Structure 1
Amino acid sequence: MVAASGPLYAIAGGVTATYAVTGVVGVPLSFVLLAPVLALFAVGYAAMSRYITGAGAFYPYVVNGLGRPAGVAISFVALVAYNGIQISVYGLFGWSLSNWLNPLLGLDTPWWLWALAIALVIGTLGVLRVDLNAKVLGVVLLLECAVIVVTDLALLGSPDGGGAPSLVPLAPSSLFTTGVGAVFAFSVAVFTGFEGAASYSEEVRDPRRTVARATFLAVALTAVLYTLSALAMADAAGPANVVGAAQAQGPGLLFGLNAQRLGSVFSDVSYVLFLTSQFASLLSFHNAIARYFFALGREGVLPEALARTNRRTGAPAAGSLLQTALGLVVVAVFAIAGRDPFTELFSWLGTMASTGVVFVLAAVSVSVIGFFRRREHDEPAWRHTTAPALAAVALLVILVLILWNFDVLLGTAGDSPLRWILPGILLLAAVIGLVRGSVLRSRKPEVYAGIGKVE
């Protein structure tokens, strides 16, 4: 779970983007505050996963907690959100590789060339059913964590101006200012992936315990890594300088700081892991989205053509090709428009996606309450009502803050149409999902009855 979310690329790309776009210094505190909210969500989510085993997507949870129309609506929002995350990383990868290779080899290649190339590579691997197994991801994760820990220790040990590390980034006044909602949007985006444990519930010895433990450990590990890394980055650059440095250098900020303290060789190795981290995340998200298309096509929620698989490999070929096509189109549009791959493609789609994820998490929390009210169980009230209710309230507050500060997220003027277009895409997806569910209920009742069905 943690390896697929790419902690090194989340820190070098996501945390840096948070500083650069929001202009807020209190980024480390956002992780401290967000982790308990996600842990509250995990309490109810893990409890429900004991009864809905093997469900890789969120919509079966909502179907069994709030009903099929709501479940279809959430499935469409989740599909848009996870496609947004996937496609946003194409922009980051293209930026990262071009900025690394151009000076190294004396080339002058545009970011979009590498973004389109990696999209084709990922799409091909998806059709061929190539995936990274847990051992490969585990090795990459250990290397990433080692680099992060060494870098954090070096940065915290030599802050800008000398002396002791500054705690200014952890002060409430550094976070709760204009743009706080934008900070939470980015922070949710880098946490995305922690919720994947339930996908493995059929493959573990004791899903009633393992799913919950894995989810809590994922939240705890990433929260610690992100908090310390964001603090270390701010202290090494200087709390007063970190925003400007992030805006000027982008993801290169982290590697420039560790090169100053640990040498160019360590920095180069870190950058290679930064690229492999993005690759692992791209492939993991691509395969998950392709299977999401496949599942919705198989159930008749989306066109049945999406349920087609590769005859030789069994991979969800139609879903893989559709996801690749979407990525190529979006990258091409941003390239033709001359938009920035980091502050616009990566940041815009990433924040739109995280907005959708917050909405979906809130819906799942409410679904947990509805699910347990409709069936007999032996779960304590903390798991089936109290924790999910607290999580839903907290997530809805965060959602309101995100929407309130959406212009900050985009780095545009408050009257920019994008301020409404991007959240509007999520709302449109939900409305289309509700309509689709209603149409299936009236015209294809047998298909409707099978939506989100749990054996």
Structure 2
Amino acid sequence: MKLHDLIGYDRNGTIKEIETGLNKGKLGTRDIVFSALGFNAPAWVAASSMSILYSISGHQAPLAILIAFFFPMLVLAICLVSLTRYAPSAGGVFTFCSRFIHPSCGVVLGWTYALACMAVTPMCALIATQYIQALFPALQGELQAKIIGTLLILTFLMVSSRGVAVTARVAATFLVFEIVVVAGLGMLGIINPQVSDLSVATMYSVTANNWSAVAPGVLFGVWMLANFDSAINYIEEAKVPVRTVQRSLLIVLTSAFIIYSIAAIGWQFAVPVDKLASIVESGNGGAISAIAETYLPSSMSWIALFVVITSACAGLQISSNSAARTLYRMSEEGHLPSALCAVNKFKAPRLTLALVTTVGIAIVWWKPISNIIWYYDVITITLVLSYVFALIAFLVLTWEKNAPKVALMLSAPAVLAMLVLGYIGYLAGASPVSPDDIYTAWYLGIFALVSGALIALLSKLCKLRPIIN
């Protein structure tokens, strides 16, 4: 059996379209790749996370990213490729769990994934706001931050309401600029190094002494590479649905890996790693600013701030679309009120977009940027739950479709990936950034599951009511 047959890759594009009320045939592979990579937000993630990764793994930061890419993220991507082939829909984890585990499990996990996306939306709005205020000091202030964040969310509601093609073009515009800056600064470091006595080989070497620093970095690298799966949310609007999204899943994950690897390598050649590790990101561009100061004239210092603004805006836009399309599909399947599957004249899910926008604005006013750890907790635990149950769905699919020996071979890496992701979920609650944050991620995960279970129960009761009457 060939590899593409084994993992369910639709090599010949046999599935030409799937049933949907959304805008069919609008997106190609490039459009979905740019949209999904926008959700990964390379510039913002690099600004906020690279210094932390350096502080964890030091010179071995590129090695931590490499290991995280191959395991568990590439394993997860291949599992999602298979699931997309046999359960194609914009619902993603909702559909996978509904078809291969249980419909009620699908509702719970679909809601959990939607919560993850709905948390990313206001978080990105607040991050963009923080950098806007840094770029324009006259706008400083908590009230101003809430107003700016609200305006950003409303602005991208209007963009998303114009249809998926407009959404993809805006995401592509933002993404090209941030990749040029993030990866470009990395290449400048490699081409014109400012730090001597450093080699790429040392960044990928590991010994018994430094392995203890690499392992935690791998877990952090998983966080940096996550969100590539948002490509699935656009499957109903793709020109060749399954093949386009399968390609996009692998391209988005690989692209994020390459971008972060170039940055992790090149930035060390520009600024000593000890200095990079000590940088505290607080709306000033973080490590990106330090590298920009090394290679760019002072007149261009604004680029480090501007690129994070565009990155956060792209993440805001794509996360709100991902949540809206998941809720749309749950409504189409009868698990949420039927009104939520309504679309406007541009075939955008207008009511779910409005719902996600309303929730996002409410959270902006409830949880300001000073509560950024709360957002991390929500996103980490809900994504971990979504990924783990997607892998469980893959295991069920694998044993249904393959002989026992083949199923066992495919199951082994998936089970190990589940254990790694489960450990990340455990650490999210057991190892908080501050003592006040202990167990918060676990509480939020329980809330997501319980609220999802209530939605599943209400869905059943609503379906049974006509029969009882």
1:446 and 1:48, CA in 2 relative to 1: closer, same or farther beyond 3 A?
farther
> How many residue pairs are counted as aligned between the two chains?
428
Distance 1:107 1:432 in 2: 37
Alignment of 1:55-454 (within 5 A): 55-102=90-137, 108=140, 110-127=144-161, 129=163, 132-135=166-169, 137-159=171-193, 161-165=195-199, 170=204, 176-177=212-213, 180=216, 184-185=219-220, 187-197=222-232, 199-200=234-235, 203-205=238-240, 207=242, 209-247=243-281, 250-264=284-298, 267-269=301-303, 271-310=305-344, 313-335=346-368, 340=370, 344-345=371-372, 347-374=373-400, 377=401, 386-404=409-427, 406=429, 408=431, 410-413=432-435, 416=436, 418-438=437-457, 440-441=459-460, 444-445=463-464
1:294 and 1:114, CA in 2 relative to 1: closer, same or farther beyond 3 A?
same
1:164 and 1:131, CA in 2 relative to 1: closer, same or farther beyond 3 A?
same
1:187 and 1:38, CA in 2 relative to 1: closer, same or farther beyond 3 A?
closer
Question: Which secondary structure state, in structure 1, belongs to the residue aligned with residue 336 of structure 2?
Answer: coil
Worse-superposed segment, 88-97 or 352-361: 352-361
Question: Which secondary structure state, in structure 1, belongs to the residue aligned with residue 414 of structure 2?
Answer: helix
* TM-score with structure 1 setting the length: 0.79
Distance 2:412 2:294 in 1: 47
The answer to whether the 8 Å contact 1:45/1:364 transfers is: yes
1:390 and 1:166, CA in 2 relative to 1: closer, same or farther beyond 3 A?
closer
Following superposition, the deviation at residue 89 of structure 1 comes to 0.8
The answer to whether the 8 Å contact 2:131/2:306 transfers is: no
Following superposition, the deviation at residue 192 of structure 1 comes to 0.8
Distance 2:405 2:383 in 1: 25
Following superposition, the deviation at residue 108 of structure 1 comes to 4.0
Distance 2:81 2:177 in 1: 29
User: Does 2:86 correspond to 1:51?
Assistant: yes
Structure 1 gaps, min length 5: 449-455
1:216 and 1:316, CA in 2 relative to 1: closer, same or farther beyond 3 A?
closer
The one-letter code sitting in structure 1 at the alignment partner of 2:273 is P
Q: 1:18 aligns with which of 33, 49, 52?
A: 49
* TM-score with structure 2 setting the length: 0.77
Distance 2:408 2:111 in 1: 26
Following superposition, the deviation at residue 403 of structure 1 comes to 2.0
The answer to whether the 8 Å contact 2:116/2:383 transfers is: yes
Structure 2 gaps, min length 5: 1-31
Distance 1:74 1:8 in 2: 19
1:349 and 1:210, CA in 2 relative to 1: closer, same or farther beyond 3 A?
same
Following superposition, the deviation at residue 268 of structure 1 comes to 3.9
Following superposition, the deviation at residue 134 of structure 1 comes to 4.2
The one-letter code sitting in structure 1 at the alignment partner of 2:390 is V
Instruction: State the Cα deviation string for residues 91-118 of structure 1 (Å, max 9, x = none).
Output: 211111111122xxx6545533422221
The answer to whether the 8 Å contact 2:90/2:232 transfers is: no
Distance 1:222 1:396 in 2: 23
User: Percent of aligned pairs with the same residue?
Assistant: 16
1:206 and 1:359, CA in 2 relative to 1: closer, same or farther beyond 3 A?
closer
Distance 1:380 1:206 in 2: 30
The answer to whether the 8 Å contact 2:195/2:268 transfers is: no
Instruction: State the Cα deviation string for residues 313-363 of structure 1 (Å, max 9, x = none).
Output: 55433222221222222221234xxx53xxx42x43134313321221221
The one-letter code sitting in structure 2 at the alignment partner of 1:53 is P
Distance 2:159 2:167 in 1: 14
Q: Once superposed, what is the RMSD of the aligned Cα atoms?
A: 3.6
